[in-house]
Structure 1
């Protein structure tokens, strides 16, 4: 049985095509998870609506607690990290992390950035090797293969890697850096573009993204079935764009 961590970061609570002013990124993420569960109903899914129930911002108490060795933490420090521990536990358990997210002002929505801040944790998802200045950080989630699926919605056009407006898109590069830092190197992206243009442009993008999501589900299910759950990814593993 595989574990899926499904998160939505859009400020819009509804689904595009179903609800008025619904979210296109939520539409994609729910398409992905629905197709996955229809074929593998035994797999476990944990859902987090970051857009409607955002994680807490990290603060002074969080930082002081996170950088205090576990054995020296006082009760208030454990309480300060309780939410972070829960989020990290969900991430560690996941085989597939599905993120439905819009591109807001060139980057990640604030709730998703806050989630990243909560799960990039010294001692939990990354360690420091002070004896090795050339490779100071040790990614703790490189212990087995995990995949991240980013299902994005962009108002503009031609913002994928290699396209003319890619320099305006810091969403996927930001997430790729964060996940690579903690050891998750398999990232797949599908995006709907053209919301500002609307009309046929948007309709074609939705149809294309829906087909890509369906194909990605099929490919990942085959890959998971062929990979032992404790398999460790190699440096040759690359980021994929569906």
Structure 2
């Protein structure tokens, strides 16, 4: 029985396209793998603390010699890292905020990436795990567009996740998500609707593919 770690990071509880996409992914994953378990972490509603000095230094101090502050800080890191390690697949909802990812998502990454364990080497404890990034952008940052070079959200996640953790990353993006609410983007409503529909379809396809991979009988 496989486990999916479902992470949302949007600050919006309603009207979030990234949340809608992760909901589609989870629904399709559960339909394809009804025996599976979904563990959800809503970083928008319950953000994890940013990494502190105590959290950093605790990793270099034997457990019995850690200060109370270091013990508490590393207990959180241990919880988050174990949660990630125990997941068979991960889906992350990642809206673009000011050209980058939401700060709670960055805080989560800083907490879970520990060199020598989950990060920093080819044989990390999460190496090869499939991570689906479901991105949403108010405008368009696709290759070939005027703002392509300003896409630091999905590109950052792909670099950090593959370069530090050695996981397999697949990104699905919905563009022009603000076309219906921003008059300056009114001319892109049709393009935005089409991009969102395509992203939902691709999210569902990816979920079914990942679920099938996890439920395939092991080769003998």
State the TM-score, normalized to the length of structure 2.
0.86
Structure with more relative contact order (C-alpha pairs < 8 Å, separation 6 or more): 2
**Residue equivalent to 2:203:** 213
C-alpha separation in 2, matches of 1:103 and 1:227: 38
Q: How many residues align?
A: 210
**Residue equivalent to 2:153:** 171
Which digits, 9 at most, give the CA deviation of each residue in 1:41-95, with x for residues without a partner?
Answer: 1111110010111110112222221232446434442222111111101111111
The answer to which structure has the higher helix fraction is: 2
What secondary structure sits across from 1:196 in the alignment? Answer: coil
CA contact (8 A) 1:92 1:141 kept: no
**Residue equivalent to 1:24:** 17
Change (3 A) 1:42 1:195: same
What secondary structure sits across from 1:99 in the alignment? Answer: strand
1:180 paired residue among 162, 187, 203? 162
1:146 paired with 2:129, answer yes
Task: List alignment gaps of at least 5 residues for structure 2.
Answer: 181-188
Which digits, 9 at most, give the CA deviation of each residue in 1:130-171, with x for residues without a partner?
Answer: xxxxxxx424436653101011110111x23x3333211111
State the TM-score, normalized to the length of structure 1.
0.79
> Within 5 Å, which residues of 2 pair with 1:46-195?
46-70=39-63, 72-126=65-119, 137-141=120-124, 145-157=128-140, 159-160=141-142, 162-164=143-145, 165-195=147-177
* Cα RMSD after superposing both structures: 2.1
